[in-house]
Structure 1
């Protein structure tokens, strides 16, 4: 596990010091080559720990228990999913995705936050690979695809550490794991730098939960438009503040919770009339006695194209920190 810890630190540092640059012709030219080169030995170490160090060193009965743990434990599922990539033996940059909206810049280097491609976007050679059991494909879908690369590597380390703590290397004279916490760099929000720290999805789930429990800041919200997303009604408009109004997008059920908590919403119809929004015992939204869903709302004045609202909601729906910022709950 000393090797895996070392390789994780290399991946971390490589992602923080890339040669990513902005090209005036092609946009962001993302550099993932060095990151991929550092990922390869980490995946090899995971395969060795899984197969040779832990599984094959045990009795048949213990091997069965270990395989059951791999299949049932969330971090064990991460290990199984990563084995799919290692066994496929394919050029790793094809499996890594970097979202340009999370890049942070520096004078000499640019930090990127690589994540694994969703399963459906993996190269066909991986998806059709027969060198790994079908369970690895399912594990990749649910526990690896779309997740940050470093998050999954830390999950794998944490899993092996729970299986056998004696495999890890510690700082002499302490119980601190060597190489952890990882070096601190400039970040947008949360960085997981230790195997014992919660993963980003876990932190985001808690941030979203706390955000939804607290009404937005501001004097109230004005609803001017609605649209459907994944079967849910999403409302958008502006949060009324002392200075500059702030755009918002919010699902119908959250609007109902906000109103029940005493936070005011009004809806503006096409003729400019403001209607106070209320909620009944069945969590249905009404505007001055009429169902809000049936009200002819005014289109956004500053952004007449509904794509703007939909794009804004997609960001809030997939990034809890952005959602928190939208509700103006800084630091909550």
Structure 2
């Protein structure tokens, strides 16, 4: 087995608080590579036709890939999957950040959560072990309060916290899942699946090494990218995904007034350029990524904090042009509420 993956999937049964480990043959990794494809494999195997997406028979899965956790830009994304309560079909949503690589460092390539708990719980996965802990005192709290509380409770600022929010607790069909307050599994209502299981959060803290098959090859790739990537002139670094607002408007395909129009008269005021010139305070990044496309914004007059990051193009479009809102600060405030309650920003708009 490669050093970049363990071949171990952690199964968690919330009903009777037991765990077991499934060890995968290397042929599975060669066929699926991990992530969404591996989640699809387990969903086809484990989900019975006709089950209730919000019932105990719907497993909730988190799958990393064979390169997740390696020191390569972009090798931080991982997948959440379950039968979607929003569509009744295959539900899958990716997220970036640090949680996926940290899960790999605990010794597991993925997690499959079965059943439902009688009371709110969170999972604390560390050093190859999984603890069930009471989360009743976090139920009903905003995402930032949960993040702060878990860091204090566990006495570790370096933990990575994945959680559902108040929206998921209340089974909102477009509830999301978030890690570190700003990296979202937005689509398919997977936060409602997590809430239906009374699973408030999954905390991971790992110390195992995730190494490439060829250290020299990985080093060469990283070196080439660092030497050839012109960060100071890259629009993705400078403006993030919000840098696409102007181009979409110019092409006549910016979602506007509930798709009745393709251009918005205030497109410039809500663009990535305007964000960079006004409310942007920092450019964040994900695990081992050179691009640093994440936004961190502050609007003191509206109580908007960089703690919750900033806005991607999708939420600017959904809460901005789609609703006819041309005030970037108002969009930032709306985005923060979406993040606090852990909603899918696209469906919210």
TM-score of the aligned structures, taking structure 2 as reference length: 0.26
Higher radius of gyration, 1 or 2? 1
**Structure with the greater relative contact order (CA < 8 A, sep ≥ 6): 1 or 2?**
2
Give the number of the structure whose residues are more often helix, by fraction: 1
